Amino acid sequence: MSAGAKICGLSTPETVKAALDGGAAFLGFVFFEKSPRNLTPQTAARLVEPVRGRGVKTVAVTVDPDDALIDRLMATMRPDLIQVHGKETPSRVREIAVRAGVGVVKAFSVSSSADVDQASAFDGVAEHLMFDAKPVEGSALPGGTGARFDWGLLSGRRFSRPHFLAGGLDPWNVAEAITVSGTPFVDVSSGVERGPGLKDPVLISAFLDAVKRA
């Protein structure tokens, strides 16, 4: 069975359609002001309208979100999952899940096996765990930078729910990444862009085709 794929940082109807047509399992929309992919909840709500009822999960991607942002997202975009990519604790992840009434994806920045080990405190609290590459020092972004880590760090790791591999994936290396890591879900952002924040429908299709063949 092939891995499921998440296309993250979508911002136009054309790229949402490419992700849907290509068979993406998850569509991610970013709410973080420093990101070139940042959206308002209202814009995201318009983009996800054609997605509803299609069996694809929508994900609101945030960094240390406050309650006001969670409430705004649930009132407008109504995502299926909320992704958190900051310094959230297990108790905060639980609070967000209860407040929003949806599952939480907790992302971790990884450069060593110890970084993977820290996820155990969140296993069973978060709906899914995500392992992303640790950004280079001084980066304003916690993810979506194109950095990658040793995929073998995830080989043989098992969690209570399917987890994601992210960081530096693209149409040319994703099959190898799936083979080496054994990860059930993969996440891509900058690897399907022709410029910062500019998703390319052709690259999205190529990535999803590569995942299917892996």
The percent of residues above 90 in pLDDT, for the chain, comes to 86
What is residue 140's predicted lDDT score, i.e. its pLDDT?
52
**Distance (Å, whole) CA 23 – CA 21:** 6
**Structure confidence by residue, pLDDT tens digits, 69-90:** 999 999 999 999 999 999 999 9
Say if residues 185 and 3 touch (Cβ distance below 8 Å). yes
What is residue 134's predicted lDDT score, i.e. its pLDDT?
77
**Distance (Å, whole) CA 51 – CA 171:** 23
What is residue 183's predicted lDDT score, i.e. its pLDDT?
95
Say if residues 188 and 209 touch (Cβ distance below 8 Å). no
Per the residue annotation, which of 80, 132, 170, 187 is the catalytic one?
132
146 C-beta neighbours (distance < 10 Å), count:
16
| Whether 132 is catalytic | yes
130 C-beta neighbours (distance < 10 Å), count:
27
Per the residue annotation, which of 8, 80, 170, 187 is the catalytic one?
8
What is residue 64's predicted lDDT score, i.e. its pLDDT?
95
The DSSP output letter for 123 is: B
**Structure confidence by residue, pLDDT tens digits, 123-171:** 999 999 999 987 655 555 554 555 688 999 999 999 999 999 999 999 9
pTM of the model: 0.93
